[in-house]
Amino acid sequence: MRIGLLGFGVVGRGVYDIVANREDIQVVKVLCLEDITLPDAVVTKNVQDILTDDSIDTVVEAMGGLHPAYEFVRAAMEAGKNIVTSNKALVATFYDDLIPYAESHGLKFRCTAAVGGGIGWLSEVERSRRIQPIHQVGGIMNGTCNYILDSMTRLGLDYSDALAQAQALGYAEANPSTDVEGIDTWHKVILSSNIAFGVSIEKSGVPAAGISRISAEDVQNFKDHGLVCKLIATGKCCDGAYSVYVQPTLVARSEMEANVPSNYNLITLYGKWSDRMSFYGQGAGRYPTAYNVVQDCEDILCGRGFYTPCGGSVSVTNGEEMRYYVRGGAVPFPVEENWGSAVVTAPVSVQEMHNWLKRNSEAFIAALGE
């Protein structure tokens, strides 16, 4: 395999390092806007040098973001090149374009590192689908949020101090909104649900609530009731109805999710025969992520393409009901308990609660897990 590598940042450099001195997988050209020199690859600032090179059979996209990553990947496919990417926003956003194109043109497209970094989650979903229907996926999919919530719970930090610590360690961006507002997790659960259920989830119907409004008072409330807050993604398929959402969720201290530390991920599927299967590991980082990018290259060498045929578009209902912890705003739902300045509602549907939250953006909510 001869690779054209788009981007030489954290993940791109990791891929280059892992395949160094291999004969079966070689990075031969690198797109990089900085002036660097590599001993065994041509560095270019012009993507056409990669797209028009007929000796390159696979393009590894390690740029991140939507543009120009989409335009470059689409052009590479039109040039007949296989694609490997760790860009969850790219694949989730352009799923209905990129995946059918790859299928209809006999191209391989892999994106295992897009969800779970070094865990290999999407490959495990692919293996599971071979022999059983999957009816639920989800869990802790964002290391930044988990680090913040873990620091608030274990160390007693308030939100701003926990965020600053995450930024100092490189776990959070200077502008952390994509992570803390649940958007990163939103992309990941949509992509995971598409692959697990063999459909294309209508993204506009998938709600996401983040953690940016959580307070130290909230965390103490949870501790007093033997609970821990985690940002949990959920995708469910039951009798042809789909529920997909992201929200802070309260879990008992004894649960696996409650004990996931630092910036780690814990992602779970429920299958007809296997029941619960959970996968734990580093959700980000240079070499954990690059490891699964290179695994995808190996899979392409073995003839594996995308994880599942691209299914038809489906909408979500999010009609399941659960109790919610709510602080802030005029709560219109029946209240079962008062926890200090917060309340715990009677069961209300996920869709109703998220609709209310859109109109009351100053509020913080957390679902009480089953």
Cβ-based burial of 21 (10 A; exposed 0-12, middle 13-18, buried ≥19): exposed
CA 266-270-95 angle, 5° bins: 75
Residue 215 exposure: Cα atoms within 13 Å on the Cβ side: 14
| Residue 207, preceding peptide bond in cis (omega within 30° of 0) | no
Q: Is 45 a catalytic residue?
A: no
* 330 HSE (CA, 13 A, CB side): 1
Q: Which residues pair with 110 in a beta bridge?
A: 84
Strands (E), the chain: 2-6, 26-31, 42-44, 58-61, 82-85, 109-110, 134-140, 200-201, 227-238, 241-252, 264-271, 275-282, 313-314, 321-322, 324-327, 335-339, 342-345, 348-349, 364-368
**Residue among 29, 81, 88, 188 flagged as catalytic:** 188
How far apart, in whole angstroms, are the C-alpha atoms of residue 259 and residue 10? 28
Distance CA 280, CA 261 (A): 11
Q: Catalytic residue numbers? A: 188
